[in-house]
């Protein structure tokens, strides 16, 4: 009998998953798990959403793929829906991208093409993608170590990580130093030609860092002053994850460009897009277009996903269940001293694990995630297992009863850890 681990290139767990429904996935032995990672943070509507699957089946009977040189009804509909729900300044949609990394790279190209400048500012703990450009601009040196320099125009700056402030400040009197110091990086570390800054509103892989709301007000002002584009990477925060349609809505900021992917596919379909204001819309398509971007079936899935997320009460449930989980985990923090910080918005929650001195405790974080499987709970940790934050990001359809079950299971995991 073939052992797949002899042939598959990357590491896989011994668990064989066979089916999923709602917020749960079931393995080959019939054991169910609450998925606190929404697969790869992309199942906004959970596993096997019937409405989305039916929409794709119906589209498959008519047309599966066509070159994006022509119009198709699903793509036309998706473009219109995206323009309707984004900040008012966003009027253009580039759907011919096949994933989040490619969307981010395209957004950067748009900024460089339009401004005629080259430098790109990103944050220490950012995870912008896996392509050569986005990997080079992301934080975490271990990701870049085996490869040649992949983006010589990148400048990484400290992120707005209030719990471990790079500048040793406190939020109540810091004066947004993490924004103010960007002027110094432009003056002394750049080529003097900065095209854009690209930021995850809440860091996805970097530890669920939640900036204060004032951060984005100050950052947008700085970008306007410096003549550079503000790109929001909403690949993980978009489509209801924060309880608002976008984190841009939560932070009340209008970026120049936004990138979206992951949750737009609803129940696992691959779809992404770059959203931009008119100013950055002049780049020719041959500079950034991909065969499986603008896929007709994926667009059908995205349209139905947006129909569901925009229904009355849907986002209210995200806030309700997210607040419940936050309250429960903060109560756990009072009992378990290895929980250093609990932070999040909506259903994008991070729990920072520390040692007795308050320093990051990565081994314990990974142990918690591993033990969670024994209690039917799937947890992902930050920075590819190099970080000390585990993340709670279940599908947005989670009910209060399911949120209670999730917290009950987590409490058992933490009690065993203690």
- The structure tokens listed for 15 are 């668990």
Region(s) of the chain under CATH 3.90.1150.10: 4-49+312-417
- Please give the CATH topology (third level) of the domain spanning 4-49+312-417: 3.90.1150
- Given this model, what pLDDT does residue 298 score? 97
Q: Phi and psi of 366, rounded to 5°?
A: -65, -35
| Rounded CA separation 268/334 (Å) | 37
Q: Mean pLDDT, 10 residues at a time, over the chain (418 residues)? A: 86 94 97 97 98 98 94 98 98 96 97 97 96 91 85 90 96 94 96 97 96 97 97 98 98 98 97 98 92 95 98 98 98 98 98 98 98 98 96 98 98 94
Nearest alpha-carbon partner for 99 in 378, 310, 281, 298 = 298
pLDDT at 269: 97
Nearest residue to 406 via CA among 396, 417, 392, 418: 392
CA distances from 208 to 18, 44, 134, 392 (A): 30, 17, 19, 10
Distance CA 158, CA 182 (A): 9
In the chain, list all ranges with CATH 3.40.640.10.
54-309
Spell 379-401 as b/e; 16+ CB within 10 A means b: bbbbbeeebbbbbbbbbbbbeee
Query: Do 25 and 395 contact (CB within 8 A), yes or no?
Result: no
Asked whether the CA dihedral 357, 362, 365, 366 is positive or negative, the reply is negative
Per-residue model confidence (pLDDT) at position 418: 82
Domain spanning 54-309 has what CATH number?
3.40.640.10
Question: What pLDDT is stored for residue 2 in this prediction?
Answer: 79
Tell me how many helices (H) and strands (E) the chain has: 14, 15
């Amino acid at each position: 009998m073939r052992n797949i681990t002899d042939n598959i290139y990357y590491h896989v767990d011994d668990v064989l998953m066979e089916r999923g429904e709602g917020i749960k996935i079931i393995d080959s032995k019939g054991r169910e798990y609450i998925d606190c990672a929404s697969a790869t943070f992309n199942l906004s509507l959970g596993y096997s959403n019937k409405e989305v699957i039916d929409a794709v089946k119906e589209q498959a009977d008519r047309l599966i793929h066509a070159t994006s040189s022509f119009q198709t009804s699903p793509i036309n509909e998706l473009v219109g829906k995206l323009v309707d729900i984004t900040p008012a300044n966003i009027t253009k949609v580039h759907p011919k991208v096949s994933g989040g990394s490619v969307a981010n790279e395209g957004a950067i190209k748009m900024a460089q093409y339009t401004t005629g400048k080259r430098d790109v500012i990103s944050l220490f703990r950012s995870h912008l993608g896996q392509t050569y450009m986005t990997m080079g601009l992301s934080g975490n040196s271990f990701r870049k170590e085996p490869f040649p320099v992949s983006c010589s125009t990148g400048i990484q700056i400290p992120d707005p990580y209030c719990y471990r402030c790079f500048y040793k400040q406190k939020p109540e009197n810091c004066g947004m130093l993490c924004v103010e110091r960007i002027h110094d990086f432009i003056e002394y570390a750049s080529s003097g030609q900065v095209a854009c800054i690209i930021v995850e509103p809440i860091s996805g892989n970097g530890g669920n860092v939640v900036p204060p709301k004032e951060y984005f007000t100050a950052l947008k002002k700085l970008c306007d002053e410096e003549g550079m584009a503000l790109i929001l990477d909403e690949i993980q925060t978009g489509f209801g994850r924060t309880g608002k349609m976008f984190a841009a809505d939560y932070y009340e900021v209008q970026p120049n460009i936004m990138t979206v992917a992951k949750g737009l596919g609803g129940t696992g379909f691959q779809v992404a897009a770059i959203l931009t204001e008119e100013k950055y819309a002049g780049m020719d398509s041959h500079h950034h277009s991909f065969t499986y971007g603008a896929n007709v079936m994926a667009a059908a899935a995205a349209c139905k996903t947006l129909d569901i997320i925009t229904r009355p009460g849907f986002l209210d449930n995200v806030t309700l269940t997210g607040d419940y989980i936050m309250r429960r985990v903060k109560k756990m923090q009072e009992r378990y001293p290895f929980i250093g910080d609990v932070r999040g918005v909506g259903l994008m929650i991070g729990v920072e694990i520390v040692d007795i001195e308050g320093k990051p405790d990565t081994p314990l974080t990974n142990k918690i995630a591993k033990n969670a499987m024994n209690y039917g709970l799937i947890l992902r940790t930050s920075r590819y297992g190099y970080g000390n934050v585990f993340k709670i990001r279940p599908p947005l359809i989670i009910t209060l009863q399911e949120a209670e079950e999730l917290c009950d299971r987590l409490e058992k995991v933490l009690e065993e850890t203690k």
